[in-house]
Amino acid sequence: MKKYEKKAIKLTNKKGDKKQKAVDIKNNPVRPSEAQNRIVFTTIDDNFGFLTSILGESIGLTQTKYDIFEGNAQVGISYIQNNIDMNMISSYIVKPLIKCKADFLIDANQLPVILQSKLIHVPDVTKSKEMNQIVSGLLTGYAIVFLEGISEALLVGCKKADFRAVEAPNNEVTVLASMDSFTEDLETNCSMVSRRLVTPDLHFEEYKVGKLSNTKVMLLWFDGISNQKVVEEIQRRISDIDIDNIDGIGELAELIVEKPLSIFPKYRQTQRPDLVARKLTEGYTAILCSNSPFALIAPLFFVDNFKTMDDYSENFFISSFLRLVRVLAFLLSAFLSALYVSFVTYNQSIIPSTLATNIATGRDGVPLPTIVEVLLLSLIISIIREASLRLPGSVGYFIGSLAAVVIGQSAVTAGYVSASVIIVIAVSAISSYAISTTTMVYPARLINYFMIIMAGTFGIFGLFNGIILISLHLVSIRSFGMPYMYPLIPFDKEAVKDSIIRAPLANIKKRPGILVHNNPYRTGNSSKSK
């Protein structure tokens, strides 16, 4: 005990000499950037003063000193009240430290090890000598334990659990698939994926993006399954991000995709951990982001926009039929209005005479040209949808339904638009919402506007040329280095079995060949499958 008492007395004598230094830090504030080059001070007062100068007191910074080992040593505890669980601070840090007895010999230099292994009853405890890690820990829910005379601190995880509970997904509703969705807590989201894939081959790699936000980003992939070139490309793009703040997965996605000016999504945003788990086993990669209840799946192929988790819970005949319905819905939402404009404006001879007569009768007295009529109603539908989304739940649903019915009926009654246009626009708008991915809804609507203008200007010739231009664009797109139209272009007969239609699961033996090289077989013995 004498050895330790001499060390403690020596530290106490140094404390008075350095008190003035702590005061100087408080009176001469330092910039937060200076924490990058600082190490932990040897005295508690210096550390307290430095943190106060960096963070200020209005943030809720609390700093308290305690005598431990019957007064033979001293610790200081710093934390931000709004970020931590006060019960954990009291029960698992303060009480054990105050009650500890100096009934065994101890070297002062071993104090951090003793506190970490014997006294602080919290699993998440790490040591650090760098002030930038201390400041970052305070802001993310850690309590900091300083020791008098030692240039090292302990970061104790006491984060307050203030995230919402796991709920059913509201953007990707399914009938037979699981009913949990991601939350804004990154750790919770990672656990929902890892418990579905209980294997050490699932890799998690963490990044911090944003010079001011320090947003945590987690990259997930399967070792031995995922294409390593794709993984390395995504790693490079995340590492190259240079921005102050990242709000969520959508902003992150825009910063890492190629050709951001294209309207077609080159990644898939999803709320569903079961979808992420399934895609990972097929060779895709996933990205999770703190403060965002969505995951990013990459790369994305065009046919992926028409798949849902229900497809793998239903009979393959039903699943194939539903996928074809979604493809038809996309085509209707993108081209139906333009087809109508083309027929009415230039190519009346193509449609049956009875239908042409009915359309002409309905347009009797309508003052607007067909192209203006269709564009105006399409825009109104978009405005109604946007308004209903921004209003609270039941109010938005009521306002959207009321506006659609009243405006449509009144416009036809007043003779501003024809009834046939109302039918065409309604079918086109409703069809866009049958697409399984929300990121594909607005591209379908934008294609609709483009095709209406082409058809209204050049007739059926303009419609065909618009389709050719869109097709050429689709073929030219790459998603994280992979061709967007795979498995149609380039053609892969194995991958086509799970594309526009779905074959029986027992017959889908291989993963997408363009994503997987080392472990292509997903079912059955590889030697038998050959």
Distance (Å, whole) CA 48 – CA 64: 9
In this model, does residue 184 exceed pLDDT 70?
yes
pLDDT tens digits, 53-83: 888 777 888 899 988 887 788 889 998 888 7
pLDDT of the residue at 449:
93
pTM: 0.78
Q: Would you say 75 and 146 are in contact if contact means Cβ atoms under 8 Å apart?
A: yes
Distance (Å, whole) CA 227 – CA 283: 7
Distance (Å, whole) CA 323 – CA 306: 6
Contacts of 525 (CB under 8 A, 6+ apart): none
Tell me if residue 423 falls in helix, strand or coil: helix
pLDDT of the residue at 323:
93
Going by pLDDT thresholds of 50, 70 and 90, the confidence category of residue 13 is: very low
pLDDT tens digits, 409-427: 777 777 778 888 888 888 9
Distance (Å, whole) CA 172 – CA 167: 12
Summarize the chain as % helix, strand, coil (round to 5): 50, 15, 35
CA dihedral sign of residues 407, 408, 412, 417 = positive
Tokens (6 digits) for 449:
């506007």
Please enumerate, as own/partner, the contacts of 26-30 that have beta carbons within 8 Å and a separation of 24 or more.
26/52, 26/53, 28/53, 29/53, 30/54
Q: Would you say 371 and 341 are in contact if contact means Cβ atoms under 8 Å apart?
A: yes
pLDDT tens digits, 383-419: 888 877 777 666 666 666 667 677 777 777 777 788 8
pLDDT of the residue at 162:
64
pLDDT tens digits, 193-228: 988 988 888 899 999 898 888 888 999 998 888 888
Q: At what angle do helices 460-476 and 441-458 cross, to 10 degrees?
A: 140
Tell me if residue 501 falls in helix, strand or coil: coil
Give the count of beta carbons closer than 10 Å to the beta carbon of residue 157: 17
What distance, in Å, lies between the first and last C-alpha atoms of the chain? 74
Going by pLDDT thresholds of 50, 70 and 90, the confidence category of residue 446 is: very high
Going by pLDDT thresholds of 50, 70 and 90, the confidence category of residue 8 is: very low
Tell me if residue 438 falls in helix, strand or coil: helix
Percent of the chain with pLDDT over 70: 87
Contacts of 480 (CB under 8 A, 6+ apart): 230, 233, 234, 257, 258, 266, 267, 298, 299
What are the C-alpha distances in Å from 29 to residues 17, 26, 192?
A: 21, 6, 44
In this model, does residue 14 exceed pLDDT 50?
no
pLDDT of the residue at 393:
62
pLDDT tens digits, 236-290: 999 999 888 888 888 898 899 877 778 898 899 999 999 999 999 999 999 999 8
Q: Would you say 125 and 142 are in contact if contact means Cβ atoms under 8 Å apart?
A: no
pLDDT of the residue at 335:
93
Give the count of beta carbons closer than 10 Å to the beta carbon of residue 455: 31
